[in-house]
Amino acid sequence: NELPYYTFSNHSAVMLIIEPTSGKILDANKAAAAFYGYSEAALESKAIQDINLFTAEQVANERQAALNEGRNYFIFQHQTAGGNVKTVSVHSTPFENSDGKPRLLSIIQDMSEQRKLQQDLWHYQANLEQQVLLQTEKIKQANMVQVILLTAVIAVLILFMAVLMTMLVRLRRSNQRAQAQGAKLSAIFDCMTAYLVFTDETHHIEAVNGTVLKDFDSLEALRSKSIYTLFDVLDSEKLLAEGTLECQLDARFGYCNVRVSCAPVVSETQAKLGFIYVIQDITEELENEREQRLASTVFATTTEGVLVSNKHNQIQMVNRAFSEITGYGMEEVIGETPALLNSGRHDERFFNTLYDDLINRGHWEGEIWNKRKNGEIYPSWLQVSAVFNEAREIDMYVALFSDITSRKRNEQLMWQQANFDSLTGLANRHHYHVKFDLALKRAAQLEERFAICFIDLDRFKAVNDTLGHHIGDLLLKEAANRINECVRSSDTVARLGGDEFALLLQDISSISDLELVATKILRALANPFHLEGHEAYVSGSMGITFYPDDGTDRKVLLRNADSAMYKAKEHGRDCFQFYTSAMHQHAKARSVLESALHKALSNRELSLVYQPIFSQLGNGDLVGCEVLLRWKSELLGHVSPDQFIPVCEELGLILPIGEWVLYHACSQVKAWQDSYGRPLFIAVNVSSIQFKRQDMVEVVRKVLRDTKLEAKHLTLEITESVLVENSDKILSQLKALREMGVELAIDDFGTGYSSLSYLKRFPLSKLKIDRTFIRDLPEDEEDKALVSAIILMAHKLNLKVIAEGVETPAQSMFLKSLLCDMTQGYFHSKPVAQQEFEANVLTMQYHKQSHS
């Protein structure tokens, strides 16, 4: 579409047609020529860049910017032919000419005027703004004073508001505090057990606390009632005048005692608001006061001593009775401890128990010996209680005590009367029985014997009848004294009634001792009695019985003693009788034996016999002998060791006699060894009493030293009873003897306990089979089995075996077949005296040896 040229050429707008690639101006209209000052032809010989002051690069940038912004106009600076530079806007529109070639139609508009106008407008605007600023400043300055004034007013107003707010907050807080305090107060009032009543000035009720409301219907029912109508017993005049009064209310209030106080209530400005009444139940308080008054009165007036001490046991308070009993004034004991009264009669354990009881049980009660200020010691009955605090710690001690001197005296008197005969002072029947039972218990425990003697005075009735009861009484008293003097203080003498006396004699060492006592008493009673100028003669008949021989029961024993006493009467009086005649005979015989034995050693009535012991092995040589004691009494003739050895043991005579046997046996065998040149051993029987009461080790050591016999040639024969004792003392002696080299043989094996454990435990070297097992050999199958078992067992335990009581060649043969080591018995020889032993046994052995 080609522009109509005319339009182009004559258009008032400056137009150029430009070849887009080279920028060559192809056509310029008239307006363009006029604008640029070039002719049209001159312009058409130029390229646009000839008149555009922008560089090619600037133009390209401008084009790019137009493209980016979507515009088709540009702002350039074109230079006119006259050299003027004009700011122009260029509107470029591409089109194709009729040949199809691209062309640009650029319409150029001069913007220089517009620019100038714009600059003028800016300038004007700047001026205007400056003017406005100036004016504003002026106005500002003019208003400044007013502003300051206004600000001041506003500040005052704000300050006022702040003060007002603070006051309001404070007011609110104080109101809250007042409310809280009020709530607290009313809670406190409600908790109070007392009635609290608030009245107006005319004493009409306005408010009450919770306690009142608990007992009355409601506040409404009480409000406006006069308090003096409600509590009509109150004396208003007195109450109002004195402010307080105590009175008792009527039945409606259970007649309780009250303390009423009344106080006016005034405001801060001293305006009268009313009254507050406090009505308090003081019934319990009054009761406590009464009790306290009573306690103080009791404390002051009681006859029992009272001592109050603190937790450190320092005396805080004592009463009058305390001072009367102890002799100490209150001021002397305050701050002291009760140890002040200590009599020294009680040990530490006593006081430890007392204080333990106080701590654990809070109480101790009992009899205690105290000391008065004057040093006198007196018995008192003491009750001490510990007072504990809430933490269960002792706070104080309260002790009550009474002087029981007279009570004790009375008790003693009563006990005396209950247990002793008032005439003679001897034990009465009751006390005798008590002592009897104790003796029974002790004797049973210790396996002891004790004697009971009944004594009846002969012809006492005649003395009573002829010389009167008074003299009779004097005789009884004297008889009691004489009996008492014949016995030991540990024995009991009692008067059972009338002229009947009873004795309890413990620790009887021998019957002969008892007979001595009995004879002594009878002699004492048979002596004349000189009684207030009268001479009287009596005698005693005595019955004797023994525990456990004649009974183990009190009743039985007393009855037996009584019948023995009657037997004595039957025997013509002035004598003693044992319960049975057999017993009497036995006791008599025993008594004779005892007294004869006492003299046996000194009278040289004892002798020794020796029984040989032969070996069963080899040639059957003599290897040793057993020494056996013999007693030929001047009075009794030959007495068997079975009879006298137990008595020796009981009397303790076995100690000197045993030592005598040991010494002579050892010196004899040593002499034989020396003269016959044979290493014989000697077997000596030793009683368990010797081990118990003596140091056998020392005895043996001394004998061996004195006789020069080698220890290995001495065999001590002990019975199983020694081992059964199982005492450490015996065991240690046996061990020491074995260590010395002395041989130990267990005698009579098989008759006693035959405990294998003894054989193992004790340091034995020989075992002697009792003759009762040998007696029926070799016929008795049982004995055969037993003996062979014993030999076997002994050999296993490394013990040599000696068979006792071998009487026949058959027995000897049999034992030999069992490999029994040694034999002893009548088959070889009876026990014989020294000369016979030498003549028969030793000489024969000597010959036998010299022939072999």
- Residues in contact with ligand LFPHGCPZ by CB under 6 A are 611, 626, 628-629, 640-642, 645, 661, 685, 687, 717, 747-748, 771, 804-805, 807, 825-826, 831
Q: Is 769:775 a contact under the CB 8 Å cutoff? A: no
Q: In terms of CB distance, is 450 or 749 closer to ligand LFPHGCPZ?
A: 749
Q: Is the CB of 380 or the CB of 811 nearer to ligand LFPHGCPZ?
A: 811
Q: Which is nearer to ligand LFPHGCPZ, 197 or 734 (CB)?
A: 734
194 versus 769: smaller Cβ distance to ligand LFPHGCPZ: 769
Q: Whose Cβ is closer to ligand LFPHGCPZ: residue 476's or residue 622's?
A: 622
Q: How far is the CB of 766 from ligand LFPHGCPZ (least distance, A)?
A: 11
538 vs 815: CA distance, rounded Å: 70
For residue 85, list its beta bridge partners.
79
Least spacing, CB of residue 694 vs ligand LFPHGCPZ, in Å: 13
User: Is 754:726 a contact under the CB 8 Å cutoff?
Assistant: no
How far is residue 46 from each of residues 27, 39, 97, 697, 751, measured CA to CA in Å?
Answer: 10, 11, 20, 169, 174
CB of 279 closer than 8 Å to CB of 231: yes
HSE-up of residue 257 (Cα within 13 Å, Cβ side): 8
Least separation in angstroms between residue 821's CB and ligand LFPHGCPZ is 15
CA–CA separation, 592 and 338 (whole Å):
66
Residue number with CB closer to ligand LFPHGCPZ (628 or 777): 628
Give the Cα separation of 226 and 243 in Å (integer). Answer: 17
Shortest separation between residue 481's beta carbon and ligand LFPHGCPZ, angstroms: 45
End-to-end CA distance of the chain: 189
CB of 832 vs ligand LFPHGCPZ, minimal distance in Å: 10
* Residue pointed to by tokens 């009254």: 275
Residue 25 or 625 with smaller CB distance to ligand LFPHGCPZ: 625
**CA–CA gap between residue 776 and residue 399 (Å, rounded):** 84
* Residues facing residue 142 across a β-bridge: none
Q: If DSSP states are collapsed to H, E and C, what string results for 118-146? A: HHHHHHHHHHHHHHHHHHHHHHHHHHHHH
Q: How far is the CB of 555 from ligand LFPHGCPZ (least distance, A)?
A: 40
CA-closest candidate to residue 106, choices 95, 98, 97, 114: 95
Question: Which residues does 329 contact at the CB level (< 8 Å), separation at least 6?
Answer: 323
Nearer of residues 319 and 687 to ligand LFPHGCPZ, judged by Cβ: 687
CB of 720 to ligand LFPHGCPZ, least distance (A): 11
Six token digits for residue 165: 């707010």
35 touches 80 (CB < 8 A)? yes
CB of 608 to ligand LFPHGCPZ, least distance (A): 8
Residue 706 CB, shortest distance to ligand LFPHGCPZ, in Å, is: 18
In the complex, the smallest distance separating the C-beta of residue 629 from ligand LFPHGCPZ, rounded to whole angstroms, is 3
Name the residue nearer to ligand LFPHGCPZ (CB basis): 304 or 626. Answer: 626
Query: Which one, of 72, 99, 100, 92, lies nearest residue 25 by Cα?
Result: 92
- Residue 832 gets which letter from DSSP? B
Of 714, 776, 731, 722, residue with least CA distance to 749: 722
Give the span between the Cα atoms of 529 and 511, in whole angstroms: 29
- The continuous run of DSSP H or E covering 386 comes out as strand 377-388
Instruction: CB nearer to ligand LFPHGCPZ: give 453 or 596.
Output: 596
CB nearer to ligand LFPHGCPZ: pick between 523 and 775? 775
Between strands 102-110 and 195-199, the pairing is: unpaired
Q: Which is nearer to ligand LFPHGCPZ, 594 or 804 (CB)?
A: 804
CA distances to 207, 245, 247, 274, 280 from 204, in Å: 9, 19, 21, 9, 19
Q: Pick between residue 661 and residue 842 the one whose CB is nearest to ligand LFPHGCPZ.
A: 661
Q: Which residues touch 402 (CB under 8 Å, ≥6 apart)? A: 303, 304, 305, 325, 380, 381
Q: Which is nearer to ligand LFPHGCPZ, 475 or 684 (CB)?
A: 684
Task: Looking at 243-390, list the stretches that DSSP marks H as alpha helix, in order from N- to C-terminal side.
Answer: 283-301, 320-326, 330-333, 348-361
The token pair at 71 is 């515009």
DSSP state of 687: -
For residue 457, list its beta bridge partners.
540
User: Token pair of 17, please?
Assistant: 């047609």
- DSSP one-letter code for 814: H
CB of 641 to ligand LFPHGCPZ, least distance (A): 3
Tell me how far, at minimum, the Cβ of 647 lies from ligand LFPHGCPZ, in Å. Answer: 12
Q: Minimum CB separation from ligand LFPHGCPZ for residue 805, in Å? A: 4
- Rounded to a whole number of angstroms, the minimum distance from the CB of residue 659 to ligand LFPHGCPZ is 11
Beta carbons within 10 angstroms of residue 288's beta carbon:
11
Minimum gap (Å) between residue 665 Cβ and ligand LFPHGCPZ:
8
Closest to ligand LFPHGCPZ by CB, 196 or 639: 639
DSSP string, 23-45: -BEEEE-HHHHHHHTS-HHHHHT
Query: Is-contact 839 672, C-beta < 8 A?
Result: no
φ/ψ of 531, rounded to 5, equals: -125, 105
Query: Smallest distance from the beta carbon of 369 to ligand LFPHGCPZ, in angstroms?
Result: 55
Nearer to ligand LFPHGCPZ, 321 or 639 (CB): 639
Determine the 3-state secondary structure of 777 from DSSP.
coil
